[in-house]
Every structure is written in C-alpha cells, then in structure tokens.
A = this chain, B = another copy of it.
Amino acid sequence: MRIAFIGLGNMGAPMARNLIKAGHQLNLFDLNKTVLAELAELGGQVSPSPKEAAANSELVITMLPAAAHVRSVYLNDDGVLAGVRPGTPTVDCSTIDPQTAREVSKAAAAKGVDMGDAPVSGGTGGAAAGTLTFMVGASAELFATLKPVLEQMGRNIVHCGEVGTGQIAKICNNLLLGISMIGVSEAMALGNALGIDTQVLAGIINSSTGRCWSSDTYNPWPGVIETAPASRGYTGGFGAELMLKDLGLATEAARQAHQPVILGAVAQQLYQAMSLRGEGGKDFSAIVEGYRKKD
C-alpha cells in the first residue's frame, strides 16, 4: 500500500520503519533532513510537503508533537487536506486535545475524507518493537480499514468510539496514571518512614486493594521491581515532561467540559514543581524523590 507518513520524530520514525519493513511504500514528510535521508535509504520516498505526500497515497498517517502542528499539517495551504484525494482513509496518531481532533476531522470530512485519531501508548521502545497500543477514535468502517496497518506497528488496537474518543481514552488513562503514581509514592515513602520493609509493603499492596500498575509493574521505589526505571536511576521510561503534557491536556479538557478534576490538578502541579527543580527529564516515577530526604 502507498502510505503518506508525516512526522518522523522519536515515535514517528520507528513506526515508519516498521511499515517499510512490512512492505509498504511510504511518502515521507518531516522538517528534519537527517531522518528523511535515513528512511529514504530504507526505500521511503521524500515529499516536499504534506500536500504532496498525501496527494498520491492510499492512506495518510500523521504523528506530531502537539495540536498546533496537527492544525498546520492538515489545514495549511500546502497541508494534507489540500492534496489528499476524497475517500482516502486518514489517521492522526499524535496525542492532542479531543477538541482539535474533532475539528480537524470535521474539516477533513468537508473534503470527503474520513479521518480518525489514534494516539498511542508504549513509548519509543514500543514504537521500535512494534508493540504499541493504539486507542482509536473512528467510524466502524474506518477502524476496520486502519486495523491491519496499525497492527504492523502495534500489538493492541482498541476501538474507543467515534473520532476524538481515542484522545479521550488516552488522557483519562494518563490522568489516572499520573495520580496513581503519586499515590504509590506517598504510600511507599510513608511506609518507609514508619519502619516497614518496602519490599514487604509492595507485596502486601500488590495482593490487596491498593494494587495497581504503578505499584506492581512500575513501582517508584528503587529495587522493588527490577525492570522498572526506579531500579536504574529513573532513566529510559516515560519522562515527567510527557506526563506533564498529558495532565495539561486532561485539565484543559476538563476546564472546557466544566468538569472538576481535583487530584488531577494537584498531580499536574506536583509534576510541574518537579520540573521546576530540574528533574523533568527523569522518568515520571521519580516524583517519589520529592517525598524522600536527600542523603
């Protein structure tokens, strides 16, 4: 299949690589010449604009840093919607606010294009390994079309509902994740301060009502889970700045929906304070360090 792939950053590039490996012909666009050269060597075709990339493709995929980029890549004069043929299935894999996802999809529909949203989880590791989770907001028909292609980049392709619901699913999950990680951090740090062995405490929590992914798979206390970032100096996981971005999307979406998110708002501010202390580059589970005395 001839696929336009626009946005070749830390996530997009390995995703595109997996599609090339799977035998697709890719029309590529990015501002970064180096990554374009790399992917051209693997057989990708470099396009001069999103418009041209989309023009002769059977499917369009975008993977961009934020809502402003999605707007310009789709809506500008040399953007996707200026070139794409009516009827071409289109999907944006960026993590952005549901409002923008819906607006851009509406603009696409006006051109006869069915466009969905499919933000991912799984990080750069999952992108390289082709094990991402895709949360897809799309019509049933579009979902059916996208699924086999997304499966070449991911392992878990979930249909969340109409366009926008992919973004909603992702920000709601990450809102909860951001809160849970702080909850686990407070529970572990309190237990440690009161004198229980942290390994024992984690074991009890994990077989009790406090059980959660942030405790049993990604515990923030060093040494509790050997494979977690906490056990390797909080490197190489899901950075605190990315969590901060997602909590910003969640609280902003909540504000627009007139919906309170009290712990979510506090969580956002605590990651912001962590970032202010210069720790934003660490894995988000390093939030626990704010609860421990410096040695």
Contacts and interface: CB of A to CB of B under 8 A. Distances in A.
A257 to B, nearest CB: 4
Interface in A169-208: 169, 171-177, 179-180, 182-184, 186-191, 193-197, 200-201, 203-205, 207-208
A62 B162 CA distance: 40
Contact of A183 (B179, B191, B196): B179
B294 A277 contact: yes
Interface range on chain A (Cβ under 8 Å from partner): 35 or more
Contacts of A187: 172-173, 175-176
Interface in A254-295: 254-255, 257-270, 272-273, 275-278, 290-294
A90 interface: no
A196 B165 contact: yes
Interface stretch (A28-36, A44-52, A153-161): A153-161
A276 B180 CA distance: 22
B180 A180 contact: yes
Contacts of A184: 176
A248 interface: yes
A116 interface: no
A162 B196 CA distance: 8
B180 A257 contact: no
B160 A204 contact: yes
Nearest to A188: B172
Contact of A196 (B169, B193, B210): B169
Given A165-B196, A172-B201, A253-B194, A276 B258 contact: yes
Given A158-B203, A180-B210, A259-B272, 20 more contacts: A98-B195, A160-B196, A160-B204, A162-B195, A165-B197, A165-B200, A169-B200, A172-B205, A173-B204, A179-B186, A186-B264, A193-B254, A193-B258, A209-B214, A212-B212, A260-B270, A260-B291, A263-B267, A273-B291, A278-B293
Interface of A: 98, 121, 133, 135, 156, 158, 160-162, 164-165, 168-169, 171-177, 179-180, 182-184, 186-191, 193-197, 200-201, 203-205, 207-215, 218, 248, 250-255, 257-270, 272-273, 275-278, 290-294
**Nearest 10 pairs of A and B residues by beta carbon:** A212-B212, A179-B183, A176-B210, A265-B265, A176-B187, A260-B272, A193-B259, A193-B257, A173-B210, A172-B191
15 contacts: A98-B195, A135-B204, A161-B195, A168-B196, A172-B194, A173-B205, A174-B210, A179-B263, A180-B180, A182-B262, A211-B213, A248-B255, A255-B268, A260-B273, A278-B293
